[in-house]
Amino acid sequence: MSTQEGGIEGLDRTLRHTFGWYTVSKKEFKDAIRSKGLWILGAFFTLVFVLPVARVWWVNAAEGSGRLAQLVQQQGMQALLSQVYLNRVTILLPIIAIFVGYAAISKERTSGSLKLLLSLPNSRRDVIVGKVIGRCAVLGVPLVASLAFTAVFLVLSNITFKPELFGLFGLFSVLYALVFVAITVSISGAFSKSSYSGIANFVVYMYTTFAWNLSVNSFADVLTNGISIGSVDTGPLIGGAIRWHIVLFLKIANPNQAYKTLVNSMLNTGDAPQLSARLGMFGPGADTRTVCTDVLNGNVETVQTIFGEQVTCQAGSGSVPFYFSDPVVFVAMISWFAIAAALSYYTFNTVDL
């Protein structure tokens, strides 16, 4: 046995005896390798990321006038990330996470193998943590590998490669995917059947991706206009900038919105990228003046156009408040690991198997 093999086996033995969840997570990962799941995911992710680059490359080589190729020529890699990758990641990765993790625990409860797993020296916490880490590895490893391959492809293409930009995008995207794996596996632990877990995960996906923002905007309307019940009109419930602080906090609490505003902040090239990214989270019904000046510490500029008065928000004397800054948004996104684990452990620890 070589020294390297001895080191790997020694590390494996140490982890196995130190952490109860390690055996569970290792089994999850090995099962994925045997079922060719890692290879399928790796090939799929590679196609998702490489095909747009190949398309731009081919259009440029053919001297075409494709819209994406023109944007890439004007804006560089920012256009590729914002116009293609961002939308694909926010839609596809949570769906892939659901397929990877929705039956992680519920399937074993149905088959009875979960009781066998718990009869070994594994606690329910070990099972939850091991399943989450194992399924995160099943999704994360092929995703990281495909991003690395895409980086090489970008270097070889005629698109100006910016390693720090692509690296941050890759980091945010991988963490975003793993957050949804943790949520999916945690939901799986709360249901006795995989079909119920799949439905619950689909509802959560639809709500976080499409309905959360609409719900928060509707809540903002209630805060602004109040509630009318018959002849009783409460009037504005919360006025001034406070309501827009509440609305922005609620938007950032959504992992989907947190990921998108982080990437948009990274891609913005203006004087106040964080301000522009946070302002972009508000719909047309928001009070732009109040949000700009009293929430994000910006300055309002009014421009007369042929369509009337247009209000724009520029960088102010101070930066965006710390509680709306990128580091806080990043923490808000990854905090869903802890939220999902806590809820899952509570439901899984009290259920009768």
DSSP symbols for 186-225: HHHTT-SSHHHHHHHHHHHHHIIIIIHHHHHHHHHHHHHH
- Is residue 62 within 8 A of residue 30, CB to CB? The reply is no
Helix 194-206 with 163-188: angle, nearest 10 deg? 140
Domain residue spans of the chain: 16-210+341-350, 232-331
Six token digits for residue 177: 């995917």
Residue 52 has pLDDT above 90, yes or no: no
Residue of 257, 110, 281, 229 whose CA lies nearest to 172: 257
Q: Is the dihedral of CA 148, 150, 153, 154 positive or negative?
A: negative
Helix 163-188 with 255-267: angle, nearest 10 deg? 180
Six token digits for residue 353: 């198997």
Residue 89 has pLDDT above 80, yes or no: yes
Mean pLDDT check: name the lowest of 12-16, 85-89, 135-139, 277-281. Answer: 12-16
- Is residue 332 within 8 A of residue 252, CB to CB? The reply is yes
Residue 110 has pLDDT above 70, yes or no: yes
% the chain with pLDDT above 70: 83
Six token digits for residue 198: 């799949």
- What is the pLDDT, as a whole number, of residue 175? 96
Mean pLDDT check: name the lowest of 166-175, 193-202, 266-275. Answer: 266-275
Residue 81 has pLDDT above 80, yes or no: yes
Three-state secondary structure readout of 281-342: CCCCCCCHHHHHHHHCCCEEEEEEECCEEEEEEECCCCCCCHHHCHHHHHHHHHHHHHHHHH
Residue 171 has pLDDT above 80, yes or no: yes
3-state secondary structure of 19: coil
- What is the pLDDT, as a whole number, of residue 330? 97
Residue 154 has pLDDT above 70, yes or no: yes
Average pLDDT, the chain: 84
The residues, any chain, with a CB within 8 Å of residue 306's CB and separated by 6 or more, are none
The Cα–Cα gap between 140 and 176 comes to 10
Q: Where are the beta strands (DSSP E) in the chain?
A: 228-229, 232-233, 299-305, 308-314
% the chain with pLDDT above 90: 40
Kindly report the pTM of this predicted structure: 0.88
Give CA separation, 255 vs 22, 91, 112, 208, 338, in Å.
Answer: 27, 13, 33, 8, 13
Residue of 48, 64, 44 whose CA lies nearest to 56: 64
- What is the pLDDT, as a whole number, of residue 1? 46
The Cα–Cα gap between 330 and 169 comes to 12
3-state secondary structure of 242: helix
- What is the pLDDT, as a whole number, of residue 34? 82
The Cα–Cα gap between 38 and 140 comes to 10
- What is the pLDDT, as a whole number, of residue 336? 93
Q: What is the pLDDT of residues 206-264, one digit of tens each?
A: 999 999 998 998 888 888 776 666 555 565 667 778 889 999 999 999 999 999 999 99
